[in-house]
Structure 1
Amino acid sequence: MARRAADHGLRLPAGAIGAMRAQLPHVSERVMSAVISEVPSYTNAFDSRMAETIRNAVELALGGFLSLASGRRSTDPGAPGATAATGSYQLGRGEARSGRSTEALLAAFRIGARVAWRELSTAAVANRVEPAVLVDFAELVFAYIDELSAAAVAGHADERATLGRIRRRRMERLGRELLLGTGEQVVGAAAEEAGWAIPTTLTAVLVPEAHARSVLGLLPGGTLQLDEAAELADGTTLLLVPDMHDRRRAVLLRALGGHDATAGQAVAWLDVRRSYERASRARRLGLGPDTDLHLTELVLTSDARAREDLRVRVLAPLAEVRPATAEKLVETLRAWLRHQGRREGVAAELVVHPQTVRYRMAQLRDLYGDRLDDPDEVLAMTVALGMPVRPVPGGRVSAARPPSRPGRPAPRASPPRPGR
């Protein structure tokens, strides 16, 4: 890289080179002062441990440049130009670790080139360097700075990539610790190592891998992403989103719109396992995206086998009834429970005459007797018949709300008033 800068064929007089070399400490200070005053990111840089590194890089770059300007060429990696390029590369890495951007870094190089040219050209003119040589000298200055700045940007990019990989690994580890519930001390240490600000709440969101990048761009910067947790279904990404509770939940749900996502409830950050389990079960049931709207279904399907056993027990009195009649009676019993025994409401939901409801309820009373007036039995019936449950392929359970008639609002699920 430095060898290409020397291909201009420039060779300054030894006297001019000596005069410039004598001024290098002064030029270095002028460069650093200009950078401090003109680039906001560097305002306090020279009060830190990086100050000596930056100062050395500036002096090394200027020294390497004068060696090239004197006509010295070498393919030796330890030659002045190559050494300066290596120094610039390491400077770029250090600036990335300090959190400064490539824009700030390039601005510093531009200002450094301007100041160095002004100071060194003044010395060249004072030593009677011919105008034609001075033009070549200017070209060499800026070609040299371009090469050093390119090396610095490469170092900055490499360090950012390294830091990004390290932080991603730390964030993934933190997410796994949270999901495992390993305790506040362990999780807190992982959060500190990852530089993650501990939130008040976390919300687990399950989203297809293909949508993860798009969704992440709409979520807070502290969102944790897990792609390979053992519990995740294939092709699913888990996001742990900080502080999207209360009114901010609506913002989260808008961001998830159109991405086939499922959001668990917002919970205290150490309890995010609960949010994940709810989102996971809701996704298996085909509910979502807002699990807060499906609490009844989630409760009623929390133990599908127990509920099916309860359903069998509740419907046992209908075992000897013809299937077609039993189906109508179950439909009527469910509506009666939902409408708290109000005959008109039951008739409206089923789109039948109130007398039909009276007739069917008389049949049910013959079959169930006093159980229709027993609060415990009524509760069991409400849970068992609250919503249809049917098996689906793979042994999972699919839940749906009880059917309602077109044009009518879905009835409220509330306990009946026995005897009416």
Structure 2
Amino acid sequence: MPNALHASASSEQLGPIPRELATIMWPELPALLDEIKTEVVRAYPEFAEVFAGPHGRFVHAAIEQSLTIFVDQVVRPSVPSPLRDEMIRTFGRFAASRGGSLDTLRGTFRVGARVALRHTKKLGKRYNLSPVFMLSFADTLFAYMDQLEALASEGYLQARSSAEDNQDELRRKILRLIASGSGTPRATLVELAERAGWQLPEELTLVALSAGAHPARTALHGDVLMDLGDPQPYLLVPGALHAERQASLVQALGGARAAAGPTVGPAGAADSLR
């Protein structure tokens, strides 16, 4: 075994991981990959469906690429890894598209780091690696996982931002279709509403706003649709404008004028707005 891995704890200093580690790690990667997948599923059971589903091969490949690059960088620390970077960002985007939380996404990398460290500790005993070497390895490993976590978070947040933009645009489209009285089939509105994360109500109330009004979105319930880009801005409030709705609307308007039409079914929205 190379001397770099057997230096005594008294003489060895924390620093770069010895390149000889790659010789030890390469044969261990397949088993380590399987162990990481097992532990991720144990910690987050919803990933069992991911690994077994149509995207399982991609997720497997992303983990494999991450492990391979880690060992590669032990040998050649300056080697760039654009393929790994994009795969991990894509994994983050995939997690966002499934509706998973950012905490869960980050947690999977922490699980991976713990498993990799545990696996390497076993190797340490097998090859009699020094305690100081293991400390250096742990520092390097967790720094690497921090890089992966940052890349995945970047992809996740990009996807969420894009999805929110798309949903906002879909909601504005639904509002215009309903308010125009164009006779859009209900089935079409229901389909668009599902894509926008909104539920088409049986009854609704249109509220006309004074020109230039900018109601505070945070003061309104999330199911209120609005189009402030129209020269004559307006809101759509699902259901009747009861006391709670009125109070939140007054707060959101901050003194701007508004007029509520009668509560009607979706087909009568244009009349309510007029």
8 Å CA contact 1:36, 1:42 repeated in 2:
yes
Correspondence for 1:272: 269
Correspondence for 2:62: 57
Matched, 1:35 2:40: yes
Q: 2 CA distance for matches of 1:67 and 1:257?
A: 61
Please list the CA deviations of residues 79-123 of structure 1 after superposition, one character each: whole Å capped at 9, or x if unmatched. 4xx432322111111111111111111111111111111113322
Please list the CA deviations of residues 145-184 of structure 1 after superposition, one character each: whole Å capped at 9, or x if unmatched. 0011011101111111111111111111111111112223
Displacement of 1:193 after TM fit? 4.4
Bigger relative contact order (CA 8 A; separation at least 6): 2
Q: 2 CA distance for matches of 1:40 and 1:199?
A: 35
Displacement of 1:191 after TM fit? 3.2
- TM-score w.r.t. the length of structure 1 is 0.55
Please list the CA deviations of residues 331-373 of structure 1 after superposition, one character each: whole Å capped at 9, or x if unmatched. xxxxxxxxxxxxxxxxxxxxxxxxxxxxxxxxxxxxxxxxxxx
Correspondence for 1:254: 247
Alignment of 1:163-202 (within 5 A): 163-185=163-185, 187-202=189-204
8 Å CA contact 1:172, 1:226 repeated in 2:
yes
Q: 2 CA distance for matches of 1:227 and 1:210?
A: 7
Q: 2 CA distance for matches of 1:222 and 1:213?
A: 11
Q: 2 CA distance for matches of 1:129 and 1:45?
A: 36
Choose 1 or 2 for highest CA Rg.
Answer: 1
Q: What SS does the aligned partner of 2:214 have? A: helix
Q: What SS does the aligned partner of 1:112 have? A: helix
Distance 1:194 1:257, change over 3 A: closer
| Residue ranges of structure 2 left out of the alignment (5+ in a row) | 1-14
Please list the CA deviations of residues 239-284 of structure 1 after superposition, one character each: whole Å capped at 9, or x if unmatched. 2122x33xx722212222343443322211232222222xxxxxxx
Correspondence for 1:11: 18
Q: 1 CA distance for matches of 2:237 and 2:164?
A: 19
Correspondence for 1:210: 214
Q: What SS does the aligned partner of 1:184 have? A: coil
Please list the CA deviations of residues 39-81 of structure 1 after superposition, one character each: whole Å capped at 9, or x if unmatched. 3553533333332222211111111111122x213354xx4xx
8 Å CA contact 1:41, 1:100 repeated in 2:
no
Letter in 2 for 1:225: M
Equivalent of 2:235 in 233, 236, 239: 239
- TM-score w.r.t. the length of structure 2 is 0.82
Q: 2 CA distance for matches of 1:262 and 1:63?
A: 63
Q: 2 CA distance for matches of 1:135 and 1:252?
A: 59
Q: How many residues align?
A: 252
Letter in 1 for 2:247: R
Please, which moves more after superposition, 124-133 or 265-274? 124-133
Q: 1 CA distance for matches of 2:135 and 2:191?
A: 59
Distance 1:174 1:40, change over 3 A: same
Please list the CA deviations of residues 383-417 of structure 1 after superposition, one character each: whole Å capped at 9, or x if unmatched. xxxxxxxxxxxxxxxxxxxxxxxxxxxxxxxxxxx
Letter in 2 for 1:157: L
Letter in 2 for 1:115: V
Distance 1:23 1:176, change over 3 A: same
Alignment of 1:271-420 (within 5 A): 271-277=268-274
Q: 2 CA distance for matches of 1:110 and 1:262?
A: 53
